[in-house]
A and B are shown apart, each in its own frame.
Chain A
């Protein structure tokens, strides 16, 4: 028998890997110093931060000095987008993003638009991917920044990051990618992919909440800080760093790099089985987004004639999502599912099953059985 509830919402947040907690512990207990203090306790804490910085950098092929720590991907995305847009203003006043980005990217762009910037929102196809030719056409001499996420949080599709990076390099615009759902899960290399800025989150990769990172390619242009103070993190992000949180993120990155192939196989196999169990037992089930270009740990499925909310209510022992977790109680339909062309009924019939490192075989069995039963029951009631 499996422990209940079963957690299948890995895009919302991931369980903390016990190895991560073990590495955080010394910085909560004996090495508690302020990393900016100029004495032994401070140096010891600062050393922990620098090890963490190296681990984050290693995951994405960056140099440690090009990583700054933040409170999370939301802050990283805001700093990257608003910071770079303002730094390039007013000689450049145009930025490009996609309609399927995370709310914190879209809201950052909306804030820029309110302040006189021009924003182009690229559409996506039914597969959830942007059209590269459209991106190329959208770039003008006034364009400073392109921000396209690596892996979508709702439907798991992987954008053509290498190609997007090449276009941005050829057209001499800055390329930022929100890799909150991608870093540590798919191979990413900032040099090979021509990525200028990358946002990373701790709690999406089995690390702690409250910490993230931003990779910044060394260039002449630096983003404007979101806020100021003691001038930590090269003046780009003031405030006392938490060595425990940094160590947590660093360790999560180190493990992710080391275990990426293993994690991928595990997750791929479980997802495949979940999908075949469901598709083998039920008609009228469709996968949202590209079938081949996706992170396997995200199964976003439409069940014809079934409402996702009704499924969640029926399946209280399975934790999964009917949309993005960031907007509790938000009544409006998912902007991502709308963007890939789903109608209202299809959006309401969609659920997201998130599978991860800690997911076990028997959890997949239990969840598949119960989802199939619940869908059948709901459908016969119609």
Chain B
């Protein structure tokens, strides 16, 4: 099988597995005061420092969570908020807020390239509310489109609002600098960059009052209760330490991705690549094959030995049009006929060629029918 679904989850690096095995074999609860506990605590704090250093923030800002979804939910749980502004292309873990939040929720449209327009944000911020949080993702999980987060954060701060970015999909694919982005909070997840599933972090300014999602033993500075997933956290930190190599490898990914789009674009002028005209993650391509449903495509590629996705992995089983594609102005039929291809450091040109062949084969079958 050729795995082209790295945005759903990435294979774990062998070095990460070694690190996790060591930590799991050694054991200990970081909250215990005896020597075994103190060693566990030192592993926890070393991991925190490694991640902090790599994304340029103070280690004290890092709150380890059970994953990206939890981190995003925690970010939106700032005390006394009365107004939340998000974009129409957010991941469901942010997008769901409109169902549960009792205050005002504004959903900013995105343009045909998937970008949030600064004036739309300014308009939403002009509403008379006291405590506003803006949450806009750094790189989209489906299209890879990269927002100008620093500008959006500055606009938000000028209006007195807090700014959170979901940087889960960007980590390890483009350089991330918490300070340079000028955000107040940022969510990250381990399993999108070669770390394990089940661990993530919310990086949050210490002054922000977060209402914990779960209460308990007061771990993570009282912001996230529960015994820490120590091996997962150590694995996360190990994966993060490979970010420079990952980003280097993305140059090849980008070439391969571009070649896929060129080949398909030449062969099928009706094909469309969402976000193709703007800054995108180097590994991601969301491709429209008109008239062939995403589900059919995913199945057909699977039979050809290729793993791709019909969009976000979270809503499997449910065949629903991609909200990201519709937000970018695509119709329902288009939103139901796109697939996402996401490459990784180990993806080769041969893998891409196999995908291109399979794509053309399916496209021909549709044309002939």
Q: Which residues of A contact B (CB under 8 A)?
A: 5, 7, 9, 12-16, 21, 25, 28-29, 32-34, 36-42, 70-75, 77-79, 102-104, 107-108, 110-111, 201, 203, 208-211, 226-232, 238-245, 312, 316-322, 324-330
Picked from A28, A78, A111, A322, the residue with its CB within 8 Å of the CB of B17 is A28
The answer to whether A21 and B226 touch (CB under 8 A), given A42-B316, A238-B314, A240-B191, is no
Complex Cα spacing A330 to B32, Å: 11
Interface stretch, picked from B7-15, B147-155, B349-357, is B7-15
Q: In the bound complex, do residue A230 and residue B92 qualify as a contact, i.e. CB atoms below 8 Å apart?
A: yes
Complex Cα spacing A330 to B232, Å: 26
Chain B residues with CB under 8 Å of A201's CB are 227
**1/0 per residue B48-83: CB within 8 Å of A?**
000000000000000001111110111000000000
Q: In the bound complex, do residue B217 and residue A103 qualify as a contact, i.e. CB atoms below 8 Å apart?
A: yes
Chain B residues with CB under 8 Å of A25's CB are 17
Of A74, A79, A201, A243, the most chain B CB neighbours within 10 A belong to A74
Given contacts A71-B198, A203-B227, A227-B213, 15 further A-B contacts (CB under 8 A): A9-B36, A12-B29, A28-B196, A37-B309, A39-B301, A104-B214, A111-B215, A210-B229, A227-B69, A229-B72, A230-B312, A238-B93, A245-B229, A326-B216, A330-B218
Picked from A37, A75, A209, the residue with its CB within 8 Å of the CB of B214 is A75
Q: In the bound complex, do residue B232 and residue A210 qualify as a contact, i.e. CB atoms below 8 Å apart?
A: yes
Chain A residues with CB under 8 Å of B8's CB are 33-34, 36-37, 42
Q: Determine the residue in chain A with the shortest Cβ distance to B91.
A: A229
B contact residues, range: 35 or more
Q: In the bound complex, do residue B12 and residue A13 qualify as a contact, i.e. CB atoms below 8 Å apart?
A: no
Q: In the bound complex, do residue A227 and residue B307 qualify as a contact, i.e. CB atoms below 8 Å apart?
A: no
Q: Determine the residue in chain B with the shortest Cβ distance to A209.
A: B229
Chain B residues with CB under 8 Å of A13's CB are 27-29, 32, 227
The answer to whether A208 and B197 touch (CB under 8 A), given A13-B28, A230-B93, is no
Q: In the bound complex, do residue B91 and residue A244 qualify as a contact, i.e. CB atoms below 8 Å apart?
A: no
Pairs A–B under 8 Å by Cβ, sample size 8: A36-B313, A39-B5, A230-B314, A238-B73, A239-B70, A240-B314, A243-B197, A312-B34
Chain B residues with CB under 8 Å of A317's CB are 35
Q: How far is the CB of A162 from chain B (nearest CB, A)?
A: 27
Q: In the bound complex, do residue A5 and residue B213 qualify as a contact, i.e. CB atoms below 8 Å apart?
A: no
Complex Cα spacing A330 to B218, Å: 10
Complex Cα spacing A369 to B69, Å: 49
Q: In the bound complex, do residue B92 and residue A238 qualify as a contact, i.e. CB atoms below 8 Å apart?
A: yes
Chain B residues with CB under 8 Å of A326's CB are 31, 216-219, 227
Q: How far is the CB of B334 from chain A (nearest CB, A)?
A: 19
Q: In the bound complex, do residue B12 and residue A240 qualify as a contact, i.e. CB atoms below 8 Å apart?
A: no
**1/0 per residue B306-325: CB within 8 Å of A?**
01111011111110000000
Chain A residues with CB under 8 Å of B32's CB are 9, 12-13, 319, 321, 325, 328
Q: How far is the CB of B232 from chain A (nearest CB, A)?
A: 5
Q: In the bound complex, do residue A32 and residue B218 qualify as a contact, i.e. CB atoms below 8 Å apart?
A: no
Does residue B84 face the partner (Cβ distance < 8 Å to A)? no
Chain A residues with CB under 8 Å of B213's CB are 78, 226-227
Q: In the bound complex, do residue B21 and residue A38 qualify as a contact, i.e. CB atoms below 8 Å apart?
A: no
Q: In the bound complex, do residue B298 and residue A39 qualify as a contact, i.e. CB atoms below 8 Å apart?
A: yes
Q: Determine the residue in chain A with the shortest Cβ distance to B10.
A: A32
Q: In the bound complex, do residue B31 and residue A74 qualify as a contact, i.e. CB atoms below 8 Å apart?
A: no
Complex Cα spacing A240 to B10, Å: 12
**1/0 per residue B201-223: CB within 8 Å of A?**
00000000000011111110000
Q: In the bound complex, do residue B217 and residue A239 qualify as a contact, i.e. CB atoms below 8 Å apart?
A: no
Complex Cα spacing A242 to B25, Å: 19
Chain A residues with CB under 8 Å of B226's CB are 71-75, 104
Picked from B21, B97, B99, the residue with its CB within 8 Å of the CB of A21 is B21
Chain B residues with CB under 8 Å of A210's CB are 66, 198-199, 228-232
Q: Determine the residue in chain B with the shortest Cβ distance to A16.
A: B24
Chain A residues with CB under 8 Å of B27's CB are 7, 13-16
Q: Determine the residue in chain A with the shortest Cβ distance to B73.
A: A227
Q: Determine the residue in chain B with the shortest Cβ distance to A201.
A: B227
The answer to whether A209 and B314 touch (CB under 8 A), given A32-B9, A78-B215, is no
Chain A residues with CB under 8 Å of B214's CB are 74-75, 77-79, 104, 108, 226
Does residue B359 face the partner (Cβ distance < 8 Å to A)? no
